[in-house]
Amino acid sequence: MVTIPRLRRKPIPAMNPVSNPDPKPDLSPCVGVCLLEPKSRYCYGCTRTLPEIGQWHKKSDAEKYAMLRDRKRRRIIIEENRDSA
């Protein structure tokens, strides 16, 4: 069994529409921890799914923000699944 450490949550200020309304379109929430949680299929690092990761460069800024706003909910799902395993 692989033990996944709890991840520190890092803010992504460049993608925050309040603090930076004009983000770099290429900016990605990837933190280099590319491992999917088996049940939810969310990445432990960035909380995106494989299709979201693959299509990130094609997403509009609004779609990117929507995914980033959903990170807290996704992180809770990942943690609950990890704790129940």
Residue pLDDT, tens place only, 37-61 = 999 999 999 999 999 999 998 999 8
Higher pLDDT, 4 or 77: 77
Q: What gap in Å lies between CA 61 and CA 65, rounded to an integer?
A: 6
The domain limits of the chain are 34-85
pLDDT computed for residue 22 by the predictor: 53
Q: The pTM is what?
A: 0.66
Task: Write the pLDDT tens digit of every residue in 62-75.
Answer: 898 888 889 999 99
Task: Write the pLDDT tens digit of every residue in 6-39.
Answer: 655 555 444 444 555 555 555 788 888 899 999 9
Give me the DSSP letters along 41-81: --BTTT---HHHHHHGGGS-HHHHHHHHHTHHHHHHHHHHH
